[in-house]
Amino acid sequence: MKIKTTAPFRLDVGGGVTDIPQLKDYVGTAITNIAIDLYEDAAHQFARSINVETSYSKDNRNHLYFNDVKLNIEINQDDQFTFIKKIFAFFLTNTNHSQGTILKIFSSLPKGTGLGGSAVLSLCIFTSLHILHDKGKKIDTSAIMKKAHRFETTELGIRGGFQDYIGACFGGCNYIDFASLEAVSLLDHPNIGMQLAPVVEDFLNENMLFVIQKDNTINSSTIVEDEVKNFLNNKAEVTKQLEDIKESNTVLYDLLKKSRVDDAFWTTFGDKVNSSWQAQKSLSALVGIGRLHHIEAIAKPFVYGLRGPGAGGNSLFLLAKPNKKSELIKKLHTFNDEITILYGRINNEGIRISKEG
């Protein structure tokens, strides 16, 4: 039997910093995210994705592949594949499935995009392995999602947000308030997996762009650590910015629930995206710097709003004005040696699972 899984990435339209543990415990959490698939072209034909495939090994040994290259399973902290190897080892040693598994990972997404790629990867790996080895049993993807997030934060010490997993697992549009998540099952939560009105979804699909620096110089964890440090040193001022980010997320979610839109709608939407980005940039001097700062200045006249998704260290989300989109893309293409341009499309499915054999 062969199990294949893939999951969407997530876009924080209003910023996701309020899910950082030290911050959410102090100010609470309000995050609006949208599950997206990424493509190299505007026609959405050539996908950039993370796919995971698991199957049984005929020689009863464990095998690990990344983009068809076989990896040594031995864990080395300096190895770029340590993250994958630790997930594989953790599953095998903690679920009584120590031998006989093939794990293959295919990824065409650049590292450090701020779009929740590590959550997609760990969710797909855990889900595929569980389905392969627990055949016949009902799979609770919500429970696997929580296990994957717990592993990432506890075992690996990565400050990954739980909201990344919600987007990857459920798709659609999600409003994350941790207090309400604890009170209602994720499967029944009214603010999880919402589908947007066709007029809203179509506009976003047509006009959202992502710019990713080819040279990732700032790790997301480094930015988060700096934000926490700044918060601890200046709680009053930082709390004000966090409240602005929360308010922007709430307004953006209320806007995305509407079924009738016009140009004023998107102007308001863009204003909230922009204001939350300005508030996030005030949390750390590491946010939105380098090439992103230059791209941002060039793009502003052509967009309703823009911001860095995730920690904001290596990429930008742009919501183009339709009548200026072509000109914007031309300007962005002059930086092809330094950036990757991707196109987004909303994913309403969440994690996708297929079985063969």
DSSP string for 143-165 = HHHHHHHHIIIIIS-----HHHH
In which residue are the tokens 């196109």 written? 343
Length of the chain: 357
Average pLDDT, stretch 214-220? Answer: 77
pLDDT at 257 over 90: yes
Cα–Cα distance, 125 to 117 (Å, whole number)? 12
Q: Is residue 185's pLDDT more than 80?
A: no
Q: How far apart are CA 308 and CA 297, in angstroms?
A: 13
75 pLDDT above the threshold of 90: no
What pLDDT sits at residue 182? 64
**pLDDT band at residue 276 using 50, 70 and 90 as cut-offs:** very high
Which residues 6+ apart lie within 8 Å of 58 measured at CB?
none
With a cut of 90, say whether residue 28 has pLDDT above it. no
pLDDT attached to residue 216? 66
The radius of gyration of the chain's CA atoms, rounded to the nearest angstrom, is 20
| 39, β-bridge pairs | 47, 343
Model confidence pLDDT, tens digit, residues 92-106: 888 878 889 999 999
- What CATH number belongs to 198-346? 3.30.70.890
Decide if pLDDT at 300 tops 80. Answer: yes
Domain 2-14+29-38+49-194+348-356 has CATH 3.40.640.10: no
pTM: 0.92
Residue 222 is predicted with a pLDDT of 86
Query: How high is the pLDDT of residue 36?
Result: 98
Residue 6 confidence (pLDDT) above 70: yes
> Is residue 172 over pLDDT 80?
yes
Rounded to an integer, the average pLDDT of 67-73 is 93
What pLDDT is recorded for position 177?
A: 86
123-161 pLDDT tens trace: 999 999 999 988 767 778 778 888 888 887 777 766 667
Using the Cα atoms of residue 171, residue 172, residue 175 and residue 180 in order, give the sign of their dihedral.
negative
**In the chain, domain spans:** 2-14+29-38+49-194+348-356, 198-346
Predicted local distance difference test score (pLDDT) of residue 220: 81
Residue 324 burial (C-beta neighbours within 10 Å; 0-12, 13-18, 19+):
middle
If pLDDT is split at 50, 70 and 90, which confidence band does 181 have? low
- 184: pLDDT strictly greater than 70: no
- Token duo for residue 343: 């196109």
Cα angle value 89/96/107 (rounded, 5°): 35
Which whole number is the average pLDDT over 72-97?
85
Average pLDDT, the chain: 90
